[in-house]
Amino acid sequence: MIQQGSAYWLKNQDSQNSHFNLLELASTQRAVTNYVKILTGREIPVDFVDPRGDSMTDGESIEIASRISHKNVDEVVGLALHEASHCVLTDFKVLKKLSNVILHNDRYKHLFPNKDHVFLFTNFMEDRRIDDFVYNSAPGYKAYYESMYESSFFNDTIDKGLKGTEYRTETWESYMFRIINIFNPNSDLDALYNLRKIYDIIDLDNINRLKSTRDSIEVAMEITDIIRASIIVEKMINHDDFDKSTLKESHKKEGEKNDVSREKIKNAFQKQENFIKGKVKKSSGVSSKQLKQVDAISKANVEIFKSKFEDREISVHVIKKLTDEVIKSGLYGAFQSPSSLLGSKYSHCYEEGINKGKRLLKKLQIRNESTSLESHRLKKGKIDTRRIYASDFTEDIFKRIDRSNYKPLSIHLSIDGSGSMNGEKWNSTLINAIALGYVSLNVDNIDLVITIRTSGDLEGKHNHVPLLIFCFDSKINKAHDLRKITNYRLTGSTPEGLCLDALNKFIPQSSYYLDSYLINMSDGMPNFRAKNGSEYVREEAYAHTAGVVNKVKKKNVKLLSYFISKNKNKYKTEASECFKQMYGRDSRFVDVNNINQVTQTLNKLFLSENMIS
């Protein structure tokens, strides 16, 4: 069976009636943004509707409903694509000056009192023109369009209204209802005197003859003029002085009776009219704060990694990019906003880390240098110009230059961000991490990624999840981005192996051309409990972490794992044994007051004579 629409890319199709969570909303927003770009060839912003107001297409941006479920997601996507096409094809400047367009048209300037009807029929014709554009340029989006129209135009209430006795008198309301639904299979072209004539004027089969919004306005004025004349004639016929014997036999049909009330049909018609006018009511199921978090999720490219633990899978949320929006929105409760009155007690670590990095950098300038070996009197290679002038061409006159550089290093520095790291341990760890970040930005062939392993709450404390945060990447970030890490809040737990399992996906394999390292800094044992009662603790968690570490090593990744301790106690002894079980002989134990030995070890690593040509 071929999947169409959102069924092709949306997961969790079993939750048909549940509303999307923040991650699903962000995923939908990204999908719609991509579809809009593909369809229009333009970067058109796609945002969720603000819960404080209604939404209308302004030609520059698109707003979509934030109350989405698997049941209505295709409708939401279809509406966004429809509005995107308006942004590209509709001339909104002309629409704003519609009154002037009517007044300057000698044939139809008498329609100025009916400008609202001209506007409605212009939008109707623009929709038909745009539908034709989408169906022909992007037929793959047809499923979304059909879902959108089924919601408002093809339903039982409208069908019965078209076949029934209502809206068969010569009035503006009757014509609007019949014209808006004129392409419904249940449409009765004999319900009104001039409906069939209007159908021919619309001429859907040749709708591509309309090349612009002005063309749509021209057809709309012609339709409006016909209806106006028809209503005038109807009033004359119903006047007491009119001789009805002069009338020709009417072709109008009466319609059939049904059980649908006029009020119900009118409500359905009002929804259609609002759609044509661009006044679609888009429900908002989230607060302004949550909308900011959705925006943060989208910009940070948050994804979910499924880590297998025992007989189940545990979802690890991965923040792939630490943006300002992540920090300011309070996403997962992992960061404290820089604007907080309390400020961050670790803000001083940035300056100290940068200064330490500058001192370390002086010792590492040698990595920016290369060595070369020049060989002469060879039988092949490049011609040695210094030997040509004196050569009798019986000697070897070629040379080769071999240049060697330090082997590139890819380092993933992963830090335990649990609450137990708070205080001196985090202070020292943060300073050293920032120092290494600064060095990586200024030394050739060293790429550094800094991640934090923790847990956080998404959409309230009822959804507590393991969290892996990519805080810094020397390939894309600058030195000032290191300051963002100082806003981190140490309130999470220790989903050690779960987060390392997610991280392993991003760690490159070592090769002749690359040395890959994983540096771990932590202070305790795995400990994570979800709100649903799921636990990641004790021997089972230790064994799982050890298994993940072995997976990393199989990629020939070199591991340096540091256990940061403060005081000797029963917990430290137990944690040390656990640490050895997880990381084996790669375990190293450092006191919080002597954490500099971590950077000293790395300094030796950076200067090791590991050259490649």
Q: What confidence tens digit (pLDDT) does each residue in 4-31 have?
A: 677 777 664 444 446 788 888 888 888 8
Q: Are residues 272 and 314 in the same domain?
A: no
Which range, of 187-191, 426-430, 561-565, averages the lowest pLDDT?
561-565
Question: Interior CA angle at 352 toward 325 and 507, to 5°?
Answer: 55
Q: Is residue 459 part of a domain?
A: yes
**Model confidence at 403, in pLDDT bands (50, 70, 90)?**
low
Higher model confidence: residue 46 or residue 389?
Answer: 46
Q: Is residue 370 part of a domain?
A: no
pLDDT at 611: 47
High-pLDDT (> 70) share of the chain, %? 80
Q: Is residue 12 part of a domain?
A: yes
Q: Are residues 120 and 230 in the same domain?
A: yes
Rounded Cα–Cα distance for residues 227 and 221 (Å): 10
CATH number at residue 429: 3.40.50.410
pLDDT at 541: 94
* Matching residue, tokens 């540091």: 562
Rounded Cα–Cα distance for residues 469 and 417 (Å): 10
Give pTM, 2 decimals. Answer: 0.77
Q: Is residue 477 part of a domain?
A: yes
Two structure tokens written together for 211:
């090349």
Q: Are residues 225 and 350 in the same domain?
A: no
Q: Are residues 113 and 145 in the same domain?
A: yes
Q: Are residues 173 and 249 in the same domain?
A: yes
Q: Are residues 246 and 145 in the same domain?
A: yes
Q: Are residues 205 and 78 in the same domain?
A: yes
Q: Is residue 552 part of a domain?
A: yes
The residues facing 455 across adjacent strands are 466
Q: Are residues 89 and 120 in the same domain?
A: yes
> At a CB cut-off of 8 Å and minimum separation 6, what does 63 contact?
46, 47, 48, 49, 50, 55, 282
DSSP for residue 155: S
**Are the C-beta atoms of residues 57 and 108 closer than 8 Å to each other?**
no
Picking from 330, 241, 322, the residue whose alpha carbon sits closest to that of residue 292 is: 330
Average pLDDT of the segment spanning 235-243: 61
State pLDDT tens for residues 63-79.
887 778 778 888 888 88
- The structural domain count of the chain equals 2
Point out the domain boundary residue: 222, 242, 277: 277
Q: Are residues 141 and 194 in the same domain?
A: yes
Q: Is residue 377 part of a domain?
A: no
Q: Is residue 287 part of a domain?
A: no
Average pLDDT of the segment spanning 49-59: 59
Which range, of 88-92, 388-392, 517-521, 571-575, averages the lowest pLDDT?
388-392
Q: Are residues 307 and 270 in the same domain?
A: no
Q: Are residues 477 and 549 in the same domain?
A: yes
pLDDT at 437: 95
Element (H, E) at 298: helix 288-300
Point out the domain boundary residue: 225, 249, 277: 277
Element (H, E) at 522: strand 515-522
Point out the domain boundary residue: 235, 252, 277: 277
Beta strands in 176-297 (DSSP E): none
Phi and psi (nearest 5°) for 339? Answer: -85, 0
Domain with 122, as residue range(s), is 5-277
Two structure tokens written together for 193:
């005197």
Rounded Cα–Cα distance for residues 123 and 567 (Å): 74
Average pLDDT, the chain: 83
Two structure tokens written together for 495:
């989903």
Picking from 527, 529, 531, the residue whose alpha carbon sits closest to that of residue 463 is: 531
Q: Are residues 267 and 301 in the same domain?
A: no
Q: Is residue 224 part of a domain?
A: yes
> At a CB cut-off of 8 Å and minimum separation 6, what does 242 contact?
236
**Model confidence at 120, in pLDDT bands (50, 70, 90)?**
very high
